[in-house]
Amino acid sequence: MRDRYFSADPAQRSEARALYESVKHLPLVCPHGHVDPRLFAVPDYQFGSPVDLLIIPDHYIFRMLYSQGISLDALGIPRLPGAVTPADSAGRDHREIWRLVCEHWHVFRATPTGIWLRDELADVFGITLKLNGQNADAIYDAIAEKLGSDEFRPRALYERFNIEVLATTDAATDTLEQHQAIRESGWGGRVIPTFRPDALAHIALPGWREQIELLREVSGEPVHEYASFIRALEGRREFFKSLGATATDHAALTAYTNRLSAGEAGAIFQRALRGEASANDARQFGGHMLMEMARMSGEDGLVMQLHIGSYRNHNPWIQAHYGSDMGADIPIRSEFTANLKPLLDEFGNRRDMTLVLFNLDETTYSRELAPLAGHYPLLRLGPPWWFFDSWLGMTRFLDAVVETAGIANLAGFNDDTRAYPSIPTRHDVWRRVCADWLAGQLIRGFIDEEDACAMMRALAYDLAKQTYRLDG
């Protein structure tokens, strides 16, 4: 449907179409996401089955099916080593899983997941049937056939998708071998890493000491006290930069920031090494590490991203049986005005640094984030994250922030996905939302044609490129 998703009003719809078409062919800038770099390191990488590609890695899909009483086993989600998969699910046939999903596809009516898969099947795979139990097998075969063809190699899709740059997200201790392989392969695509040190910054996470051990190995620093820990991180950032990174990424439950003295930070670090750190130690250290990361960004020029407000692994039964990141992350209320103040006191007036904020509490958009971004040179607002990467979520975001922060304080779009073939669809939805929103502004006389076109291009392309310093 050519004008899909645009307003019902014919005049607005026609303006929206014109705006959308003005940016439809602009390249995709993908400054934040979770695609596996191996897809590009191996020249002839092949995706597995349709279920391997579309179902098993997509927690948007299996979380909703799970809420309706379908077990993760039945969806082919592997249990953790040592956990026993129920006999009737073990080694389940992928075609059978696909059929189960299609039979229940109606639960995704009016959801972004439903829209993404429909548009992806149509635009990338050329399949326009609506998923259901009857046509499940035929669609499975059609997808599988495509996946076997040369046009469906990741590098070929990169060209076809018109991607200009794609950033992955990588642990601070990652050796970035895949990224090195991509560089060395001589392939022309631009796939760059992003430095994510969460596993090292949050001392209360299980496995923190193993992560420190890893850091020791990859950095060559002793990391038995705070000073060399910091030096090791600085070194890793340089290494990431050498492979093209322009940004870092940080996640925290709250936006709490707080500068510790080197002595205080060092003492907590020692307690953490001994496994004796308290919950408050973890909070203080986490808040301090955000300050340190900002300081390093001020020095090395990496753009800092901060994702706030996800209560990870909320369901202990799921975590015990299937592991982390299994669709059971639930948002909590967030606060920025007080929590970010120490960081802003130190870095907020810097015009040569950028901190991009993301969160899952929409009430902060108009109350805190837009007023902060509309004042501090440091800040930009990331696009709506996770559950809010949706038509209405994006519309609410624009409604809530643009009047106070303008669009010049936004960071454009991130697809933030691990589902590589859905990337064009996700950008398409964002571009359509922006076109429709700007058309509404235009037709009501808030902005004129010239403004609308310039804003359209900025939201679709320029802001992301400029915010993440990708023009270099």
Contacts (CB under 8 A) with its own copies, residues 43-102 = 63-64, 66-69
- Applying CB under 8 A, which part among 75-83, 291-299, 341-349, 464-472 lies near its own copies? 341-349
Residue pair 120/139 in contact by the 8 Å Cβ criterion: no
12 token code pair: 């607005």
Residue 88 or 184 with smaller CB distance to its own copies? 88
Give the footprint of its own copies on residues 445-464 (CB under 8 A): 445-448, 451, 454-455
What's the closest the beta carbon of residue 14 comes to its own copies, in angstroms? 11
Q: Does 111 bind its own copies (CB under 8 A)?
A: yes
Considering only the stretches 91-99, 164-172, 183-191, 374-382, report the one whose residues sit in contact with its own copies under the rule CB under 8 A.
Answer: 374-382
Query: Which of 370, 411, 460, 463 contacts its own copies by CB under 8 A?
Result: 370
CA distance 268 to 276: 9
In DSSP terms, 438 is beta-bridged to: none
> If you count them, how many residues does the chain have?
472
Distance CA 104, CA 286 (A): 42
Q: Which of 46, 149, 242, 363 binds its own copies (CB under 8 A)?
A: 363
Query: Which bin fits 191, alpha (ψ -120 to 50), beta or left (φ > 0)?
Result: beta
Q: Report the amino acid identity of residue 33.
A: G
Q: Is 328 in the site for its own copies (CB under 8 A)?
A: yes
Going by C-beta distance under 8 Å and a sequence separation of 6 or more, which residues neighbour residue 210? none
216 touching its own copies, by CB under 8 A = no
Give how far Cα 313 sits from Cα of 156, 317, 327, 342, Å.
Answer: 36, 9, 8, 29
Query: Residue from 56, 268, 402, 456 that binds its own copies (CB under 8 A)?
Result: 402
Given the complex with its own copies, which of 179 and 432 has the nearer CB atom? 432
3-state secondary structure labels for all residues of 441-472: HHHCCCCCHHHHHHHHHHHHHHHHHHHCCCCC
Write down the least CB distance from residue 446 to its own copies, Å: 6
For its own copies, the binding residues in 267-286 under the rule CB under 8 A are none
Instruction: By CB under 8 A, name the one of 388, 413, 461, 468 that touches its own copies.
Output: 388
Minimum distance from CB of 355 to its own copies (Å)?
Answer: 12
72 within 8 A of 318, measured Cβ to Cβ:
yes
Residue 192 forms beta bridges with which residues?
Answer: 167
Residue selected from 38, 92, 94, 341 as contacting its own copies according to rule CB under 8 A: 341
Minimum CB distance to its own copies, residue 308 (Å): 12
The yes or no reply on residue 372 touching its own copies (CB under 8 A) is yes
CA separation for the pair 172, 218 (Å, rounded): 9
- Interaction of residue 375 with its own copies, rule CB under 8 A: yes
| Minimum CB–partner distance for residue 144 and its own copies (Å) | 26
Q: How far apart are CA 421 and CA 28, in angstroms?
A: 13
Angle at Cα 283 formed by Cα 280 and Cα 287, nearest 5°? 140
Binding of its own copies by 6 (CB under 8 A)? yes
Strand partners, 15: none
User: Which of residues 191 and 433 has its CB atom nearest to its own copies in the complex?
Assistant: 433
Q: What is the dihedral of CA 244, 305, 469, 190, to 10 degrees?
A: 40
CB of residue 91 to its own copies, shortest distance in Å: 23
User: According to the binding rule CB under 8 A, does residue 115 interact with its own copies?
Assistant: yes
Residue closest to 434 by CA, chosen among 417, 413, 414, 448: 413
Residue recorded with tokens 């607005």: 12
Beta carbon nearer to its own copies, 231 or 350? 350
Q: Which is nearer to its own copies, 67 or 162 (CB)?
A: 67
* Strand 310-311 with 330-331, pairing: antiparallel
Q: Of 4-12, 185-193, 241-249, 267-275, which segment contacts its own copies by CB under 8 A?
A: 4-12
Residue 344 CB, nearest distance to its own copies (Å)? 7
